[in-house]
Structure 1
Amino acid sequence: MSFLRTEALSRSFGGLAAVAGVDLSVEPGEIRAIIGPNGAGKTTLVSLISGRVPPSSGRIEFDGDDITALKPWERVLRGIVYTFQITSIFRNLTLAENVMLAAQRAASRDQPLWRGLDDRAVTQAVDAALERVGLASRAQELAGELAYGHQRLLEVAMGLALRPKLLILDEPTQGLSEQEIADFCALVRSIAMDATILLIEHNMDVVMALAQRITVMNNGALLAEGTPDQIMNHAEVQRAYLGT
């Protein structure tokens, strides 16, 4: 059984089909890239999976359960974590405080709030998440003072503190330097040892370096799926997206 599966998943906005009958199957521990031209439906698809957008029709299964009707926060509690294309950090809080909010939510899955949280465990989770994304030395800085690329890394740290089973990364390398992108690729590989990853990314070097399989979308539908080599040599993908 697939770890994540969608069946005929669709979403229309005012008669426009942003996602049209998508059947997607992702295995546990996989790094799956979703690519396609602007407006192809990539972000709408992952928004359906995370629960931010309700489907017009279709079904979503996660870890053996039908989650189609679950609220976004219920999906977070099940381990589905989405880092946004536009950062959603708390700019007036420190990096550590931002990550602590996520770590406290994760801790509440294991310990009812009325019994109190293990402050030491929460602090350790914050420190570990910031260390993994390379921001530990800036833990007490205000999040709003970070450059945009580092805000993206902070959001990834918040996602890690939630202990995801499925981590959805939407354009995570935008605003990062070449060295930061290389470090990020190493980070994603380490995350994949414990979680499944859906990656929306326009940087094809990153996609080809990380993805085990690639799903290509165009006009709200699946155009092709396959390994990086298969996608690079797919004639329709070349015409619709790669420009060759």
Structure 2
Amino acid sequence: MSLLSTQGLTKAFGGLTAVSDVDFELPQGEIRALIGPNGAGKTTFVGLLCGRMAPSAGTVRFDGQDISRLAAHERIRLGIAYTFQITSVFARLSAHENVALAVRRRGGDAVREVPEALQRVGLRDRAGDLAGDLSYGHQRLLEIAMGLAQKPRLLILDEPTQGLADSEIDAFCALVRGLAPETTVLLIEHNMSVVMRVAQKITVLNFGAVLAEGAPEVVQADPAVQAAYLGGVEA
């Protein structure tokens, strides 16, 4: 059963169509990667999924419910968590306090759950540090901890490995693999090594439309994908 789906999803900005008639199905418990060249429409597509913008046409459904017109905070309550491509932590609060805000938002037990979330991303020993004092990579990990603290059914990760050291990327890959099947993951990622290691299926966007979709090894070998993305644009 699909947890998330779109039908004819379209977003136009004046004369520019950023997302064009996209049909998309994400089954419960799957780790899906969304890739494509810069300007392919990935960020706009994800913005339509999480409610940061409204579609020009088409629908978004979550667990069978039409959420196309729901605000972002209403989608969070349904179980959709989204980490931004640019970090959105509260710089003047500690790492612990940042995660505690996410826990309290859904009425959870901060005393127990905050250390667990920080431990999962490797930041438990940085709990007392101000978020603004953390490295960029550690801020990304903190944001993932905040997402996990919401106990989401769907976790959307936008460029999560940007700024991470190799050892941190290894830990991140293990973390994502450990989330399934309880948590469905949509991963927007330029690092193809990460994509190939964690994704069960890949969707490729190009010029706002789906160019290809399938198992990682199949997509990687697709001539159209290689020409549009893997052959010369950030891989």
Q: TM-score, normalised by structure 1?
A: 0.93
Give the distance between the partners of 1:130 and 1:39, measured in 2 at CA: 33
Q: 1:185 aligns with which of 160, 163, 173?
A: 173
Answering whether residue 224 of structure 2 is matched by residue 236 of structure 1, we say yes
CA shift, 1:103, in A, is 0.3
Give the distance between the partners of 1:68 and 1:89, measured in 2 at CA: 27
2:21–2:58: 8 Å Cα contact kept in structure 1?
Answer: yes
Give the distance between the partners of 2:180 and 2:120, measured in 1 at CA: 13
> 2:151 is aligned with what amino acid?
R
User: Which residue number corresponds to residue 43 of structure 2?
Assistant: 43
CA shift, 1:196, in A, is 0.3
Question: Any residues of structure 2 matched to 1:65-144 within 5 Å, and which?
Answer: 65-107=65-107, 121-144=109-132
Give the distance between the partners of 2:148 and 2:198, measured in 1 at CA: 18
> 1:221 is aligned with what amino acid?
A
- Secondary structure, aligned partner of 2:93: coil
> 1:4 is aligned with what amino acid?
L
Give the distance between the partners of 2:218 and 2:12, measured in 1 at CA: 30
Answering whether residue 197 of structure 2 is matched by residue 209 of structure 1, we say yes
Among all aligned residue pairs of Structure 1 and Structure 2, give the percentage whose two residues are the same amino acid.
Answer: 59
Q: How many residues get paired?
A: 232
- Secondary structure, aligned partner of 1:230: helix
User: Which residue number corresponds to residue 54 of structure 1?
Assistant: 54
Give the distance between the partners of 1:73 and 1:55, measured in 2 at CA: 17
CA shift, 1:234, in A, is 0.7
Q: TM-score, normalised by structure 2?
A: 0.97
- Secondary structure, aligned partner of 2:2: coil
Deviation >4 Å, runs of 4+: none
> 2:104 is aligned with what amino acid?
Q
Give the distance between the partners of 1:144 and 1:191, measured in 2 at CA: 27
User: Which residue number corresponds to residue 151 of structure 1?
Assistant: 139
CA shift, 1:106, in A, is 1.6
**Deviations, residues 49-79 of structure 1 (Å, cap 9, x unaligned):** 0001111110011011111111100100000
CA shift, 1:15, in A, is 1.5
Give the distance between the partners of 1:3 and 1:161, measured in 2 at CA: 20
CA shift, 1:233, in A, is 1.3
RMSD value, Cα: 1.0
- Secondary structure, aligned partner of 1:3: strand
Give the distance between the partners of 2:104 and 2:94, measured in 1 at CA: 15
- Secondary structure, aligned partner of 1:44: helix
Q: 1:174 aligns with which of 162, 184, 206?
A: 162
